[in-house]
């Protein structure tokens, strides 16, 4: 994967109906010309956190960024209330789009969803995973547990999330509407997180069944899920690569887009493509 150029096109947004009252708002970057693509799954901060990465990747491949139902004012049917439900919904989306060999890239809870998708992919839709400061597994040591953002004020959460203060939202500038939208997103996140909120206690023990190539890229200065937790995540897969991203926190794709793209590109060139050639 070569370095991205500077020419970008705006995404198109559409609604995909999956049945049983579930519709997905999907932003599409580029176009599907090869029957494959990249599916980008956002964390609790919403789909905007994946837009820059999706835009850059779209110069090489079709990229899709759905909004988790209930985020940013999108509808969420009452039965859709877990990470497992989202995993199945996104596999249904890949079925609907008839995509195979897809790289699923997930940040934070999006990484958790990506792992759950791989465990349920009975139709061979997924070709590789990239987890960016993912949550979802229970840490073996208390010192490496994920911080529960519900226990902290927003300013403290952003301080832990971003290494560079310039990327931290200034909540004093938010309108009432923006505050309400952010609060609604966090309420939806809590629904999907379930009782454990940041993890499923059984997930780590299941990850050995994922034989796909997995890249775990981690912002080294993440105060939400520390780098030791990230290394433990990578070690839970039988075929994984761990890449630390310096000077980045919980959103390496935002703070260090170039380094994140470099890690993904090298992973594709040296692991994913090599595997396809074997």
C-alpha to C-alpha distance for 72 and 99, rounded to whole angstroms: 26
| Banded model confidence at residue 277, pLDDT cuts 50, 70, 90 | low
**Would you tell me how many other CB atoms lie within 10 Å of the CB of residue 190?**
13
Question: Is pLDDT of 6 > 50?
Answer: no
Per-residue pLDDT of 72-129, as tens digits, reads 999 999 999 999 999 999 999 999 999 999 999 999 999 999 999 999 999 999 999 9
Token pair for residue 247? 């000077």
Half-sphere exposure of residue 241, counting CA atoms within 13 Å on the CB side? 16
CB-CB contact of 101 with 122 (8 Å): no
For the chain, strand residue ranges (E) read: 12-19, 22-29, 38-41, 63-67, 102-107, 126-132, 214-219, 240-245
Question: What pLDDT sits at residue 240?
Answer: 98
In DSSP notation, 139-156 reads -SSGGGPPP-GGGS-HHH
SS3 164: coil
Question: What pLDDT sits at residue 41?
Answer: 98
CB-CB contact of 36 with 60 (8 Å): no
Domain layout of the chain by residue ranges: 12-277
SS3 199: strand
Nearest partner of 108 among 195, 28, 15, 186, judged by Cα: 186
Question: What pLDDT sits at residue 278?
Answer: 62
Q: What CATH architecture is 12-277?
A: 3-Layer(aba) Sandwich (3.40)
| Banded model confidence at residue 9, pLDDT cuts 50, 70, 90 | low
Token pair for residue 113? 């969803």
């Amino acid at each position: 994967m070569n370095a991205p150029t500077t020419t970008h096109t705006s995404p198109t947004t559409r609604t995909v109906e999956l049945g049983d009252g579930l519709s997905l708002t999907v932003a599409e970057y580029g176009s599907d010309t090869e029957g494959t693509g990249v599916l980008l799954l956002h964390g609790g901060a919403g789909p905007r956190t994946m837009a820059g990465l999706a835009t850059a990747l779209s110069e090489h491949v079709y990229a899709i960024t759905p909004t988790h139902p209930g985020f940013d004012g999108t509808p969420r049917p009452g039965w859709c209330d877990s990470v497992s439900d989202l995993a199945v919904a996104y596999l249904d989306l890949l079925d609907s789009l008839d995509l195979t060999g897809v790289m699923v890239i997930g940040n934070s809870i999006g990484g958790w969803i990506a792992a759950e998708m791989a465990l349920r992919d009975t139709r061979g839709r997924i070709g590789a995973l990239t987890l960016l400061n993912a949550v979802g597994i229970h840490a073996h040591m208390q010192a490496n547990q994920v911080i529960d953002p519900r226990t902290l004020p927003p300013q403290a959460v952003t301080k832990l999330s971003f290494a560079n203060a310039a990327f931290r939202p200034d909540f004093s500038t938010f309108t009432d509407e923006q505050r309400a939208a952010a609060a609604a997103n966090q309420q939806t996140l809590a629904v999907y997180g379930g009782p454990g909120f940041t993890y499923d206690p059984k997930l780590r023990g299941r990850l050995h069944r994922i034989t796909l190539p997995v890249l775990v890229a981690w912002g080294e200065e993440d105060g939400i899920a520390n780098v030791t937790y990230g290394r433990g995540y990578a070690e839970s897969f039988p075929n994984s690569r761990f890449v630390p991203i310096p000077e980045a926190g919980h959103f390496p794709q935002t703070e260090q887009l170039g380094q994140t793209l470099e890690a993904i590109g090298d992973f594709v060139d040296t692991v994913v493509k090599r595997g396809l050639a074997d």
